[in-house]
């Protein structure tokens, strides 16, 4: 019988929830990497290696499911690392995204790293480098999405205003992955901002930021069932592509708000996707939060229709779910999991029909990844 692990990277370490395939009872382990801000994870099933990205310690690896860790930072000058991906056809090849939106590559399972040369010339480079202080994480490369059937195809996401770029030649050349998004993405309103009018420089900075951040990509996920189908949660809406990111269609209609951070795609059905809007309840615009009822939205029609899934979820919270705070497992029926900034983890073992709280009292949850082994 397979086992399921739900990994929760938090502001103060790694927590692990474990269960068998029935997923009726869960055991909690951790914190591991105590006191370390853990952002995201990647799993290599071939070598049973777990990789973690952190805000201060760079990249770490574990061969015993998180109990002990070793650093993998040779050649990695930036130790604030947001994400890591393993080539699904060649686990020696790793890709890492860091602060300041740099992309690094390793050909030896993380023993040594080099800047990905092709990405240095990818579209949008003029505004990609440097830093800015707005948003939760500033300027970062936080998404590396590799086609599991054809690893030469990748989509890379940074928090700069160019949105995302794609490659079909393993990173040698890149092009924008935003046709259909930038043409339809409505500008963020500013009427509800609480800005001190006496601070002209601050007001100018925030207004300038909002003029571009409306097109910021928060999360992309490739459908495991049909890898040319890709879903995307923007600052300004949810989109779908059926040509691996060349063109996109707005599928936000039916959601209570276009703005959100996480999403999860069903492991076997390309038409089923889950999102959590960032504004729910009594939130002010541009102060992303869920205040009141916590609801997940599911579409089984590829985004043509959405339904609110709330059974078992709390009706009174003040929290948010961050961009990598949601994931699915590969069991039947699929399990869906998400963690909140209030330190809670929720799970559904029936594809969203009902939910229950699996953990509480954790630090802010920054990334959720599931492993079935």
pLDDT value, residue 288: 85
pLDDT value, residue 192: 33
Question: Whole-angstrom Cα distance, residue 160 to residue 144?
Answer: 15
- 296: which residues sit within 8 A by CB, 6+ positions away? 274, 275, 276, 308, 309, 310, 313, 336, 338, 348, 352, 355
How do the domains of the chain map onto residue ranges?
3-372
Cα dist from 27 to 15, 19, 20, whole Å: 11, 6, 10
Q: How many percent of the chain have pLDDT more than 70?
A: 90
Tens-digit pLDDT profile for residues 72-84: 999 999 999 999 9
Asked whether 300 and 354 are in contact (CB, 8 A), the reply is: no
Mean pLDDT of 233-238: 92
ω into 31 cis (within 30 of 0): yes
pLDDT value, residue 135: 55
Class of residue 63 by CB neighbours under 10 A (exposed 0-12, middle 13-18, buried 19+): middle
CATH architecture of structural domain 3-372: 7 Propeller (2.130)
Highest averaged pLDDT of the listed ranges 157-161, 196-200, 222-226: 222-226
Residue (of 273, 259, 361, 371) closest to 320 by Cα position: 259
Residue (of 26, 29, 35, 79) closest to 54 by Cα position: 79
Asked whether 57 and 71 are in contact (CB, 8 A), the reply is: yes
pLDDT value, residue 360: 98
pLDDT value, residue 49: 97
Quickly list DSSP for 161-227. Answer: TT-EEEESSTTSS-EE--BTTTTT-PPPP-TT----TT-HHHHHHHHHHHHHHTT-EEEEEE-SSST
Q: Which of 105-119, 141-155, 210-224, 342-356 has the least mean pLDDT?
A: 210-224
pLDDT value, residue 132: 62
pLDDT value, residue 238: 96
Q: Dihedral sign for Cα 196, 160, 72, 10, please.
A: positive
Q: Dihedral sign for Cα 126, 141, 225, 42, please.
A: positive
- 288: which residues sit within 8 A by CB, 6+ positions away? 259, 261, 278, 279, 320
Asked whether 92 and 107 are in contact (CB, 8 A), the reply is: yes
Average pLDDT, the chain: 91
- Model confidence at 201: pLDDT above 70: no
Question: Whole-angstrom Cα distance, residue 328 to residue 339?
Answer: 12
Q: Six-digit token pair at 353?
A: 């029909």
Question: Whole-angstrom Cα distance, residue 142 to residue 98?
Answer: 7
The band of 206, judged by pLDDT with boundaries at 50, 70 and 90, is low
- Model confidence at 198: pLDDT above 80: no
pLDDT value, residue 195: 40
Tens-digit pLDDT profile for residues 358-371: 999 999 999 999 99
Mean pLDDT of 248-263: 95
- Model confidence at 294: pLDDT above 80: yes
Indicate the pairing of strand 279-281 with strand 289-292.
parallel
Mean pLDDT of 255-273: 96
- Model confidence at 153: pLDDT above 60: yes
pLDDT value, residue 191: 32
Tens-digit pLDDT profile for residues 316-338: 999 999 999 999 999 999 999 99
Quickly list DSSP for 5-74. Answer: EEEEEETTEEEEEEEETT-SS-EEEEEESTT--EEEEEEETTTTEEEEEESSS-EEEESSTTSS-EE--T
Quickly list DSSP for 219-266. Answer: EEEE-SSSTT-EEEEETTEEEEESSTTSB-EE--TTSS-S-EEEEEE-
Question: Whole-angstrom Cα distance, residue 101 to residue 77?
Answer: 13
């Amino acid at each position: 019988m397979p086992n399921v692990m739900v990994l929760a990277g938090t502001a103060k370490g790694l927590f692990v929830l474990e269960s068998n395939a029935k997923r009726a009872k869960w055991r909690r382990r951790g914190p591991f990497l105590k006191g370390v801000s853990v952002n995201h994870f990647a799993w290599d099933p071939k070598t049973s290696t777990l990789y973690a990205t952190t805000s201060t310690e760079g990249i770490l690896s574990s061969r015993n499911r998180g109990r002990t860790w070793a650093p993998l930072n040779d050649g990695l000058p930036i130790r604030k690392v947001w994400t890591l991906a393993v080539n699904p056809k060649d686990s020696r090849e790793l890709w890492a995204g860091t602060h300041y939106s740099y992309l690094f590559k390793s050909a030896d399972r993380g023993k040594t790293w080099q800047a990905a040369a092709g990405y240095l010339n990818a579209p949008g480079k003029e505004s990609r480098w440097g830093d800015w202080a707005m948003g939760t994480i500033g300027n970062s490369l936080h998404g590396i999405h590799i086609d599991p059937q054809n690893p030469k195809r990748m989509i890379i996401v940074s928090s700069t205003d160019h949105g995302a770029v794609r490659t079909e030649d393993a990173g040698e050349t890149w092009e924008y992955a935003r046709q259909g998004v930038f043409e339809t993405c409505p500008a963020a309103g500013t009427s509800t901002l609480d800005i001190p009018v006496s601070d002209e420089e601050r007001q100018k900075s925030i207004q300038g930021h909002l003029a571009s951040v409306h097109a910021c990509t928060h999360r992309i996920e490739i459908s495991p069932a049909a890898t040319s189908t890709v879903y995307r949660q923007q600052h300004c809406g949810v989109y779908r592509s059926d040509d691996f990111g060349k063109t996109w269609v707005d599928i936000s209609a039916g959601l209570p708000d276009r703005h959100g951070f996480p999403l999860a795609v069903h492991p076997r059905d390309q038409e089923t996707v889950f999102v959590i809007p960032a504004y729910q309840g009594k939130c002010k615009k541009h102060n992303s939060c869920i205040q009141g009822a916590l609801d997940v939205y599911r579409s089984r029609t590829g985004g043509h229709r959405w339904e609110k899934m709330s059974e078992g979820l709390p009706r009174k919270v003040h929290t948010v779910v961050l961009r990598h705070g949601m994931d699915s497992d590969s069991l039947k029926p699929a399990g869906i999991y998400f963690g909140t900034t209030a330190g809670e983890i929720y799970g559904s073992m029936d594809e969203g029909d009902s939910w229950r709280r699996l953990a509480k009292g954790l630090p802010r949850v920054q990334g959720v990844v599931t492993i079935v082994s």
